[in-house]
Structure 1
């Protein structure tokens, strides 16, 4: 029947490295179980050897002690194997992290290359030159607006002002010093109201 919902099955994200790490950890656990079983067996045989010595069965007790000695050597080898397996697991897991870092760096490099292809060095230099020209042009305008004129410009402005006024001082009205009355304040408003009413009637 395939997938119940008819969709495509998702690809497995378990890599060969993940499978290898899992197998190594399973083997490590089996070795630890073996260690535990041998250790318990040794403890029982050690007690049995004591009992045999009490019973005067020295040769049987000696045989058990030799067997224990051999098992001690097996335990040492097992411990070394466990250490090697754990070291290998750590190396594989660290390599997986390094691979992810390298993949990230590669993606970053590809992104930078694509961006460099979009904008070349010549484009950057052209944009910088245009920007510098625009800044200098704006500075010239700012200096002119700020009054940074030469003496010749100042003389030309005064001459133009002299020509406009016809050589005579222009009289300006004095600023009123008396307070504005309520009638004077409302007069413009009344005038605007009348104009509005007149416009509505003529419409």
Structure 2
């Protein structure tokens, strides 16, 4: 609004300046015509308008100063708002991590470094050069083992073992040393095939069906009772 008033005063100032030029020219014409009093009255009017022009100039200057002051105040307010926002952020950061908290972390870090240094010094005095060489050799062997480990297959394992039509079932069976005839489950084999004896009287038995018949007497050859084959 102040800028609009300033612009209106400038328009009024231009209009008065143009009118003064016309009145000055008219006064010269009146003097040439011998109409001195009329020319004098016109010059008085011109003088009054010049005073108005000066007042208008002063008002324009005042308005411009006010506009600049307001604009600067607005900028200053924005700067203050920015500073206030920055202070709030700093205060929140200080609440999250105060000076005491920073000092505590630094102290703990320094203590950890000192503790590690003491351990290194203690261990350094406990080992001979032969021990150091053995440690490095073991470390190298472990590293080599990690390098030589086979990669885990990315493809899923086959559901059936090649050459075997079906791995039917596994059963844990109790026995007391006496001969027992095992009941097979879900198998087409004529005889069960014990794989191994595990622990105190437990046998892991599996029935395997292949393209041919089972191998009779294999369990006896492995030391199993005849009732198991």
TM-score (norm 2): 0.53
Quick one: structure 1 residues 68 and 110, their matched pair in 2 at CA, closer, same or farther if it must change by over 3 Å?
A: same
Q: Which protein is richer in strand relative to its size? A: 2
Q: State the Cα distance separating 1:141 from its structure 2 match.
A: 5.0
More divergent stretch after superposition (123-132 vs 52-61): 123-132
Aligned CA-pair RMSD: 2.8
Give the aligned partner of residue 70 of structure 2.
Answer: 92
Report the Cα distance in structure 1 between the residues aligned to 2:94 and 2:33, rounded to whole angstroms.
90
Q: Deviations over 1:139-182 (max 9, x none)?
A: 3455578xxx45xx467x77x89xxxxxxxxxxxxxxxxxxxxx
Point out which structure has higher relative CO (alpha carbons under 8 A, 6+ apart). 1
Report the Cα distance in structure 2 between the residues aligned to 1:40 and 1:116, rounded to whole angstroms.
67
- 2:51 paired residue among 56, 62, 73: 73
Quick one: structure 1 residues 81 and 118, their matched pair in 2 at CA, closer, same or farther if it must change by over 3 Å?
A: same
Question: Secondary structure of 1:56's match?
Answer: coil
- 2:90 paired residue among 94, 104, 112: 112
- In our comparison, the structure showing a higher alpha carbon Rg is 2
Give the aligned partner of residue 127 of structure 1.
Answer: 105
Q: State the Cα distance separating 1:115 from its structure 2 match.
A: 1.6
Report the Cα distance in structure 2 between the residues aligned to 1:154 and 1:117, rounded to whole angstroms.
49
Q: Which protein is richer in helix relative to its size? A: 1
Q: Where does structure 2 lack aligned partners over 5 or more consecutive residues?
A: 133-161, 164-229
